[in-house]
Amino acid sequence: MPEQLYRAEANKKYRLGVPGLEEVRVVVSNNPATAALAFEAGEVDLVINYPETDFERITETGAQGFAAPTARLYFYTVNAASGPMADPLIRQAVSYAIDREGIVQAALSGVGGQAAGTVYPKGTGWAADIPVAYDPARAEELLAEAGAVKEGGTWMLNGEALEIDIVTYSSRAALPPTAELTQAFLAAIGVQANITVGEWGASNDAIAAGEADLFLQAWVTTPQGDPGAVLETLLKSDGGSNSGGFANARLDALLDQGRLTFEHEKRKAIYDEVQQIIASDAAMIPVFHVSQTNVGVPGLTGYQVHPTETYWITHETKLAE
């Protein structure tokens, strides 16, 4: 089936030289554990997005490990249209309650990423100077400002226990444990969180329908190196992937302005302000920027991780027999 197996033959007249591989077969698997087992069984030569928690162990068996920072961000889309996360004070409280460094160490085994204070990683040149903030005490202060009352160790809102429903998917190994750790950090300050792990489409539908409060997902924020397009679809009021219903007129205007501005320093100032609005309004909650961890057989050469994750195989990639 075309959605499971892709096959490409080398173009021996390629302008940069004859490719080192005559044929490449790409097998798609939505289960990271299944891909890892296929590699250990010798069925595949390279696994993209190898489970981070198993990366160190598999490289100790003689496999080649390829790890490098990318522009992929793990973040929470917030339901800004209904429920508790419609209140920016509660959104901010949730953000302060998350120990991002702890998540990187636990969910990524310390090899796979960097805690995120903002949308873009520093290597892209677009990151604003927004620190990673973990402050449970400040989180509780914000909950009180939002009108919540703590009774018996549990935060109450409008006479009921404050509950936050989290949805995510499992095709990236670090997503479910990141949601579980977030649940634990919220529990530590007296907020109950419930987690549902399904497919991406179902999770997206749930947040769009107001049936969930947070949607944990992972996107490359600069797939072509430009800072605008992804934020336009995720956070602009009419964005095609704005499933949380966030709307901010100033943010909309800045994103329009950024698209029409061509001088780099002026664009940088625009997207710095965009990031400040995102942070102050908790329009989305960044968690970490991930390093892609890939694993290949010992005979694989001419391969490296691309920062946008766009390119896997080049004409220089070879495989020793």
Give the DSSP H/E element, type plus range, for residue 12: none
Q: What is the pLDDT of residue 3?
A: 57
Q: Which residues of 258-274 are buried (b: 16+ CB within 10 A; e: fewer)?
A: beebeeeeebbebbbbb
Distances (CA, A) of 304 to 7, 19, 63, 68: 21, 16, 15, 8
The domains of the chain, with CATH numbers, are: 5-69+292-319 (3.40.190.10), 70-291 (3.10.105.10)
Is the pLDDT at 220 greater than 90? The verdict is yes
Dist CA 201 CA 213 (whole Å): 16
Q: Which amino acid would we find at residue 26?
A: V
Contact between 293 and 65 under an 8 Å Cβ cutoff? The reply is yes
Distances (CA, A) of 17 to 219, 301, 311, 316, 318: 33, 16, 17, 9, 13
| Strands of the sheet with 149-151, listed across from one edge | 149-151, 154-157, 160-161
Of 28-42, 63-77, 242-256, 284-298, minimum mean pLDDT range? 28-42
Query: For residue range 76-123, what is the model confidence (pLDDT) as tens digits?
Result: 999 999 999 999 999 999 999 999 999 999 999 878 789 999 999 988
Percent of the chain residues past pLDDT 70, beyond the cut? 99
Is the pLDDT at 2 greater than 60? The verdict is no
Q: 3-class DSSP state for residue 287?
A: strand
Give the DSSP H/E element, type plus range, for residue 183: helix 175-188
Q: What is the pLDDT of residue 217?
A: 98
pTM to 2 decimals? 0.91
Dist CA 239 CA 233 (whole Å): 4
Q: What is the pLDDT of residue 29?
A: 86
Q: What is the pLDDT of residue 243?
A: 98
